[in-house]
A and B are shown apart, each in its own frame.
Chain A
Amino acid sequence: MEPLLAIRGLNVRFGPSERPVPAVADVDLDVAPQEIVGIAGESGSGKSTLCGAIMRTLVRTARVSGEVMFSGRSLLTLNDGEMARLRGRELSMVLQNPMTSLDPLYTIGNQVEEVLRERRRDGAGLRPGGAIEVLRRVHLTAPELRVRQYPHQLSGGMRQRVLVGMATAAAPKLLIADEPTTALDASIQDEILILFRELRETAGSAVIIVTHDLSAIRRLSDRVVVMYAGRIVEEGPTGEVFRAPRHPYTRALLASLPRIEGDEVHLEPIPGQVPDLASLPPGCAFAARCPVAKDICRGQRPPESVVADRHRLFCWRAEETA
């Protein structure tokens, strides 16, 4: 099937050109229509910058190169007006912080209606009760009451639902959710994740969910992409990657989660820390923390190895990690 989103050779650099900070490097990624893709990675892995590059919401000083094809259009070459028309309609985003993404001075109804009005610039009038319908669709209790309330009167989970409702009001072809559940309690996290799945089922949307919460990715996504220091290190079907991770970083990341064995809880920290993007080593960025690194890992960047159908990784020891 023709991918909905096709990213080729995407690079994002910040800072002065003589000492660039490569926040995203050489990313190739396809997302099929109606597919849910999880992007996992720690802070500094470039996952949020990647989303910003797709949505074109990065600061002006970011230098973006490569190609981002969305539904047959090249996003990086659209003018601002064309991009703005795409955003919110075909391409939408939910951000991490439900506290600051809503304006405290306007009612929820006001803000949802503003989005609806924006989507219907073509002249079609605003249906009464449109905002209530949006809130009902994200299972907010008492939507008739909520439209008259202000953001501070809603809990964090409710606000996140409002944002998901706003982002999906126009049934986008692709929704990008950047850490959508990070600040929320477990019971509410699951409810938000379920909304994304419903969005795929009812509106046929594809979803990219970016998070460091591996359990959310495992349960929601069809495919998982693991990033480290701005690069994709492993990508594959979610079940396969979680069952049998191949990249040493993916393995270390999964081992660092607390797991219960009998009466004891075990976790294995990854030694060392995430490298400074401004002074990356010439080889594999994970080599300094990798338990199986060889000389070549420190000296040369690993090539792509396709280890199974749609499962690829970038590791010099790809053959031996099976």
Chain B
Amino acid sequence: MTANEPMVEASGIGKTFTLPAQSLFGEAKRVAAVVDVSFRIPHGRTFGLVGESGSGKSTIAKMLLKLEAPTEGDLRVEGQPIFRQSPAEELAYRRKVQAVFQDPYGSLSPRMRADRIVSEPLRAHGMPRREAEARAPDLLRIVGLPPEAALKYPHEFSGGQRQRLAIARALSVDPQLLVLDEPVSALDVSVRAQVLALLRDMQQRLGLTYLFIGHDLAVVRYLSDIVGVMYFGRVVEVGPARQVLRQPFHPYTRRLVALASGDAPLGAVRMQGELPSPLNPPSGCLFRTRCTYADTTCIDQRPEMRDAGSEHMVACHHYEAVVAGTKAETGPQLREA
């Protein structure tokens, strides 16, 4: 491992799902959930992925957890291609990477006591039950739950406490990388703040690397060092969190940030146009059907990722003019090429 080798490196990864054919002789339709996505997550940092539902964020999380295999590209963790592992490497990988999901109700077995829940991964990796469960009080303490919580069942915990339990379980095998897929979206605001503060504290104390998926931009910015913005399976902008979420370049990110700021009166910032169909994506730029700046170039050519300086990349034909305020609002462009 070299000094500046990233924890995670995705190079042009993609995932295409084939839908069942509508008729016996009909052609099977294919949906690209993730297309040509590249990013790097340095050790001990957080990569935040934002985008609307269906943009492919969770598919990327699933790939990193090896729950879905990419159909294109290469996904490496600490230099190792994770889809070409020996069984021994795979076992070690599953200790290295753990996950916390959105639903704190669906992700804990209602029949297991908390001490078993948090020690389950240790047992799965071969530790005897007694020894594994002896670690439970320590794990609960790390996430701020009292020791007596060990003897309770999931239904006895609140949503926030359940999410702490899920985090304790993820931490049990001393992972290096946590995949956090909307971990606070289902929580109340005050509890959300508690869990976010806990995640930040865990990262500083344990040197963890996070892939953090969220749709609340303020939340994503609280934890993230680098942010990627996804739209219909593609990353349209990526860069340092401060820049991307404060001075966004891509018209889509700019709209998201304006919507999220909550300063504008209701209705002042709106997404115009139409959402494209994933079955029949538009030509050129996928955002052109909702982008006020779109013109004929956007219908004809798919924008490539361009370097905008300071590790900030953006896929938009016109971002310079958009940022400078000199681009005419000629969109959205709804017609086909």
Contact = CB atoms under 8 A, between A and B. Distances in A.
Contacts of B160: 273
Given A265-B218, A269-B190, A190 B196 contact: no
A214 interface: yes
Given A190-B267, A194-B267, A258-B219, A185 B52 contact: yes
Nearest to A218: B262
A194 B189 contact: no
A308 to B, nearest CB: 23
Contacts of A252: 190
Given A141-B274, A185-B53, A259-B218, A269 B262 contact: no
B269 interface: yes
B242 interface: yes
Given A43-B159, A187-B52, A253-B190, A193 B218 contact: no
Contact of B190 (A155, A215, A270): A270
Among B196, B222, B242, B266, which residue has the most Cβ atoms of chain A within 10 A?
B266
A42 B262 CA distance: 20
A187 B196 contact: no
Given A258-B219, A267-B222, A253 B189 contact: yes
A249 to B, nearest CB: 9
Nearest to B52: A185
A145 interface: no
B260 interface: yes
B218 A156 contact: no
A212 B188 contact: yes
Interface residues of A, number: 35
B269 to A, nearest CB: 7
Contacts of B191: 42, 269, 273
B266 A219 contact: yes
Given A42-B188, A155-B275, A186 B256 contact: yes
A256 B188 CA distance: 10
Contacts of B255: 187
Interface string B267-281: 101110011000000
Contacts of A273: 158, 160-161, 191
Contacts of B159: 43
Contacts of B256: 186-187
A30 to B, nearest CB: 24
A260 interface: yes
Contacts of A253: 189-190
Given A194-B267, A258-B218, A212 B260 contact: no
A190 B270 contact: yes
Contacts of A186: 52, 215, 256, 259-260
B25 to A, nearest CB: 23
A118 interface: no
Interface string A151-187: 0000110000000000000000000000000000111
Question: Closest 5 interchain pairs by CB?
Answer: A42-B188, A269-B193, A258-B218, A270-B190, A269-B194
Contacts of B189: 42, 212, 214, 253, 256-257
B265 A219 contact: yes
Contacts of B221: 258, 260, 265
Contacts of A188: 52
A226 B246 CA distance: 31
A83 interface: no
Given A256-B190, A269-B197, 14 more contacts: A43-B158, A187-B52, A187-B255, A187-B256, A187-B270, A191-B271, A194-B267, A197-B267, A256-B193, A260-B246, A265-B218, A267-B222, A270-B193, A273-B160
Nearest to A193: B266
B222 A258 contact: yes
Among B159, B190, B255, B259, which residue has the most Cβ atoms of chain A within 10 A?
B190
A268 interface: yes
Contacts of B161: 273
A263 interface: yes
A194 B266 contact: yes
A256 B216 CA distance: 14
B113 interface: no
Interface string B157-174: 011110000000000000
Interface in A185-206: 185-188, 190-191, 193-194, 197
